[in-house]
Amino acid sequence: MVFIQAKDYDDIGRRASSILISQVILNKKSVLGLATGSSPISTYQHMIKANASGLADFREVKTVNLDEYVGLDPAHNQSYFYFMNENLFKHINIDIAQTRVPSGISKDFAKECVDYENHIKSVGGVDIQLLGLGHNGHIGFNEPAEDFPVTTHCVDLTESTISANERFFEKREDVPTKAITMGIGTIMKARKIVLVVNGEAKADIVEKAFFGPVTPNIPASVLQLHPDVVIIGDAQAFSKIQNRI
């Protein structure tokens, strides 16, 4: 694992987007795995700038997203489909038909999960997967569990995740309680992983996930076993690991 300490949130985005952009410059047909949440927004802002300046061309890039809330229509302003359009896709020259977010309104979720895995295979797998980090150590929506879920699946969100996401909804009852997410195996198959994390509130989980035992109780801890992971964070998120990076 490589740790990069950035100056601040904007600098996290600048550094993460540099990695994604170099991938796209080297291979214009790259497959990017993308994430939602507040952590990757500055990364997307820098990707948008790189596209506007002509540095990065996304015309032939394909994307697959980590997860989606079950029950939210893509047009819902808190759906991850909507998030991706608002925060990235509509600002860059990507072909929207080449982007994919799992469906939160499938009539057959078992089939949607299998189709999603097959889609990732059919595009040749993920070159770089961007990740955030949940307060309880979740990646995508892989919540703490007894085992590492391997493939794309539906999950019940934990109370802590529902609470963390409450700020985006009018009231707690509006927060979806289920999600569809890539599995830990799906994420671990990405050839490179870039995780962005900021703020004091993540300091404890950063230490546990990356310097504690590998355990499905802290899903992100599995990243310790991946051969090519870059963790980009600010001084606050890295405050408990300063002397080890």
Return the active site residues. Answer: 67, 136, 138, 143
Say whether residue 136 binds ligand GLP (CB under 6 A).
Answer: no
Indicate whether 176 belongs to the interface with ligand GLP (CB under 6 A). no
What are 16's two structure tokens?
């993460």
State yes or no: residue 190 binds ligand GLP (CB under 6 A): no
140 binds ligand GLP, rule: CB under 6 A: yes
Task: Quote the tokens at residue 200.
Answer: 């004091």
Does 9 help bind ligand GLP (rule: CB under 6 A)?
Answer: no
Q: How far apart are alpha carbons 59 and 54 in whole angstroms?
A: 12
- Residue 121 CB-half CA count within 13 A: 9
Residue whose C-beta lies closest to ligand GLP: 132
Instruction: Determine if 141 is a binding residue for ligand GLP (CB under 6 A).
Output: yes
Residue 161 in the binding site for ligand GLP (CB under 6 A): yes
Residue number with CB closer to ligand GLP (93 or 163): 163
| Run of H or E including 16 | helix 9-26
| Residue 151, CB-side half-sphere exposure with 13 Å CA sphere | 13
CB neighbour list of residue 187: distance below 8 Å, 6 or more residues apart: 33, 66, 129, 131, 139, 140, 142, 193
- Nearer to ligand GLP among residue 38 and residue 242 (C-beta): 38
Rule CB under 6 A: say whether 218 interacts with ligand GLP: no
Q: Which amino acid is at 237?
A: A
**Shortest reach from residue 80's CB to ligand GLP, in Å:** 8
CA 234 to chain centre: 18
Cα dihedral sign, 25-100-70-146: negative
Say whether residue 81 binds ligand GLP (CB under 6 A): no
- Considering only residues 13-72, where is the footprint of ligand GLP by CB under 6 A? 35-39, 66-67
Can you give the binding site for ligand GLP, defined by CB under 6 A? 35-39, 66-67, 132-134, 140-141, 161, 165
